[in-house]
Amino acid sequence: MWRGDYFFLIQNLVEKDFKVRYRNMSLGVLWSVLNPLIMMGVMTFIFTKIFGQGGKGFPLSVLCGLVPFNFFTLAWVTGTTSILDNTGLVKRVPVPRQVFPIASVLSNGLNLLIQIGLLLAMVVVFGNGVNIYWLWLPLIWGLEFLFVMGLALAFSAINIYVRDTRYVIESTNMVLFWLVPVFYSFSAIPVRFRGIYQINPVAALVLMMRNVLMEGHAPLASTLVRLAIVSAVMFVTGWWVFGKLKDGFYARM
Amino acid sequence: MLIEFQNVSKCFPHSAGRQLLRTHITRWFGRVHREPFWALRDVSFRLEDGESLAIVGSNGAGKSTILSLAAGLTRPTRGKVIVQGRIAALLELGSGFHPDLTGAENLVLNAALLGLSRKKTNQLFDRIVEFSGIGEFIDDPLRTYSSGMVMRLAFSVAIQCEPDVLLIDEVLAVGDAQFQEKCREALAGFRRSGKAMLFVSHSAAAVREMCDRAIWIDHGSVVMQGRVDEVLDAYQGRVVL
């Protein structure tokens, strides 16, 4: 049984992921800022100039969708491959295996912080400025992290048994891009489909980001409760699936 | 008592090779049945404080499986493995290292993986660097190191982090003669302080020097266990088919 400092270990794994990812890029962390800005620019051009839709707030609205969506897809994929990516450690060091997907999701969090910083700066400069409801953001994002960690735990374990898993997830993410209101607003969705959107934690996150940052009001309690329940259930399920499968890792890696 | 194996058997599924959706589907429908592979059968032994035990046997006999079980990397299919105290496993030295991180960063990461706290790591940092003899290169990325340097760093972290048991898999052929001498001294000191070692090596000389007792494993079963000289004499005098 491994006994040690979990916090120190996870912190080190997160730092490793982050350093390894950015050390070989000459622009480093700047990529984190450039990527969503470019996407925002392209989408704004297409929807306002070509389709002739979307108003003044469109670029910010897109960014409110892109930042959560990018985080979700990246964290899900890297979380899923995390056990396999750390084969050397999993087969040689008896640390509790759960640390790898969790650290992987958290290391995407550093990238996310930079993007949220960008988003908040844009809101202050071009949008409505700071309001008291920003205080909801840590809670909303905390729930989202819980959700993604649950996914990462479950899928990183499944990926050891079925190596095609990551490709299934990459395809799912492409579909999800259209099913999360990134470039359309929540009010454009017909009422009968809204229930589905509110259960989808990524869509709920986008919705609440816009509530807080653009519309300047607190997120709806009902949406928040749904997100909390879905996230908690996902985390518990992920932890359980991982626990069921982890004893088979060694022989299959 | 630090490590005890009670009638331990370990079985690996044969299909462990390819894990693709296709493999699973053909298995469900085709019902291809392959015999599982028993890496260990009914192995029992004890490792006491201050003792150093060698495991000898030919390739594929199950030596590494014993170390993996003792390190807690995998669980026995049957029987029981009891481990007390902190174990540092020197299995394929440097497998926890990342080439893009510096020596110092790898050192801290490895210490965290072994279970050390931040405080303890900071305390030991200078001693580990000094023991490794890597000097000013400690802040260079690991990919610029020679393989000997990587091994020296990994060994230094493991030996300096004060484990109760060291698991050593064929790694003493590390570094130059001078560093090997340093390793031997460190291991001797480690034994004198009442710590235990589980030692796998193909070098009979190293085994005789380092160990009190030995187990001879063949095809997953214990052939003989006892004093290191007796077991090694029998092992080296075996009939090789």
Here the tokens at position B138 are 């400690």
- Which residue in chain B has the smallest CA separation from A9? B112
Any CB–CB contact under 8 A between A167 and chain B?
A: no
**In contact, B166 and B159? CB cutoff 8 Å:** yes
Chain B partners within 8 Å of A1 (Cβ): 72, 83
**Of B194 and A41, the one with more pLDDT:** A41
Chain A partners within 8 Å of B91 (Cβ): 92
Chain A partners within 8 Å of B2 (Cβ): none
Asked if residue B16 has pLDDT above 60, the reply is no
**Are residues B73 and A164, on separate chains, in Cβ contact within 8 Å?**
no
Q: What is the pLDDT of residues A46-80, one digit of tens each?
A: 888 888 877 788 889 999 999 999 999 999 999 99
Confidence band of A246 (pLDDT split at 50, 70, 90)? very high
Choose among B19, B21, B157, B160: nearest CA to B95: B157
Q: What is the pLDDT of residues A134-176, one digit of tens each?
A: 999 999 999 999 999 999 999 999 999 988 899 999 999 999 9
CA distance A73 to A176: 9
User: pLDDT value at position A101?
Assistant: 97
**Are residues A3 and B89, on separate chains, in Cβ contact within 8 Å?**
no
User: pLDDT value at position A17?
Assistant: 87
Q: What is the pLDDT of residues A172-228, one digit of tens each?
A: 999 999 989 888 888 888 888 887 887 889 999 999 999 999 998 999 998 899 999
User: pLDDT value at position A7?
Assistant: 93
User: pLDDT value at position B164?
Assistant: 87
User: pLDDT value at position B182?
Assistant: 82
Q: What is the pLDDT of residues B199-215, one digit of tens each?
A: 888 888 888 888 889 99
Asked if residue A233 has pLDDT above 80, the reply is yes
**In contact, B217 and B56? CB cutoff 8 Å:** yes
Query: Which of A19-28, B137-146, B201-210 has the lowest average pLDDT?
Result: A19-28
**Are residues B116 and A8, on separate chains, in Cβ contact within 8 Å?**
yes
Here the tokens at position B226 are 């006892």
CA distance B84 to B170: 23
- Which residue in chain B has the smallest CA separation from A94? B73
CA distance A19 to A28: 10
Q: What is the pLDDT of residues B43-83, one digit of tens each?
A: 999 998 888 999 998 888 888 899 989 988 889 999 999 98
Choose among B94, B89, B192: nearest CA to B151: B94
CB pairs under 8 A between A and B: 94
CA distance A12 to B110: 9
Confidence band of B183 (pLDDT split at 50, 70, 90)? confident
Here the tokens at position A217 are 């009001």
Chain A partners within 8 Å of B86 (Cβ): 3
Q: What is the pLDDT of residues B154-164, one digit of tens each?
A: 888 888 888 88
- Which residue in chain B has the smallest CA separation from A19? B101
B16 vs A92, A162, A252: nearest CB: A252
Chain B partners within 8 Å of A89 (Cβ): 95-96, 113
Query: Which of A79-93, A105-119, A183-197 has the lowest average pLDDT?
Result: A183-197
Integer Rg of chain A from CA:
19
A20 vs B96, B101, B108: nearest CB: B101
Surface-to-core class of residue B58, CB atoms within 10 Å of its CB (0-12 exposed, 13-18 middle, 19+ buried): middle
**In contact, A160 and B18? CB cutoff 8 Å:** no
CA distance B191 to B211: 10
Q: Where are the alpha helices (DSSP H) in A86-136?
A: 87-92, 99-126
Q: Which 3 state secondary structure label does DSSP give B182? A: helix
Here the tokens at position A189 are 């969705």
The ipTM value here is 0.85
Asked if residue B21 has pLDDT above 80, the reply is no
Query: Which of A116-125, A184-193, A209-218, B114-123 has the lowest average pLDDT?
Result: A184-193
Domain B3-236 part of CATH 2.40.50.420: no
Q: Provide mean pLDDT across the span B89-93.
A: 74
Query: Which of A155-169, B1-15, B133-147 has the lowest average pLDDT?
Result: B1-15
Write down the domain spans for chain A. Answer: 6-252
pTM for the predicted model, two decimal places = 0.89
Q: Provide mean pLDDT across the span A16-45.
A: 83
Chain A partners within 8 Å of B73 (Cβ): 91-94, 250
Here the tokens at position A87 are 């084969």
